[in-house]
Structure 1
């Protein structure tokens, strides 16, 4: 179980990084520096953005749950 949680933690960490980078930039930050400001008018529907938000939140919840469970495993020495 401990190894499975570690694997899930690595996978959710990579997915969260990917999903966060896929989000559309809201301001004039780094996203507009690389042409994101020009594409914001041409971007697709908001349904895709809403689904991406939901997937990101679910992935973040799984990530936090894995961290808490791994902490409990180490605190109570259940990893053996």
Structure 2
């Protein structure tokens, strides 16, 4: 169980970094805190709608995998305490 837990912990770290990068790649919608610091300038040519949809799907999939990995680590920890 220790090897599986270690592998899952490494996977959580990798998925966390990937998830942060994916969220930072998303196009801002405006009206948020970023507008106060000059981030409110938008360009209609920045990316296409299909690219944004793909990026959203990849981000959601990564977030679901991240959550499932954390739940798996918790279940393994609980099972190892019972034995």
How far apart are residue 35 of structure 1 and its match?
4.6
How far apart are residue 76 of structure 1 and its match?
1.0
How far apart are residue 47 of structure 1 and its match?
1.2
Gaps of 5+ in 1: none
Given candidates 43, 46, 51, the residue that maps to 2:49 is 46
Given candidates 5, 10, 17, the residue that maps to 1:2 is 5
Q: How many residues align?
A: 78
The aligned residue for residue 66 of structure 1 is 69
The runs of at least 4 consecutive aligned structure 1 residues that moved more than 6 Å come to none
Gaps of 5+ in 2: none
Cα distance in structure 2, aligned partners of 1:30 and 1:49: 21
Secondary structure in 2 matching 1:25: coil
- Report the RMSD for the aligned CA atoms in angstroms: 1.8
When Rg is computed on C-alpha atoms for both structures, the one with the higher figure is: 2
How far apart are residue 28 of structure 1 and its match?
1.6
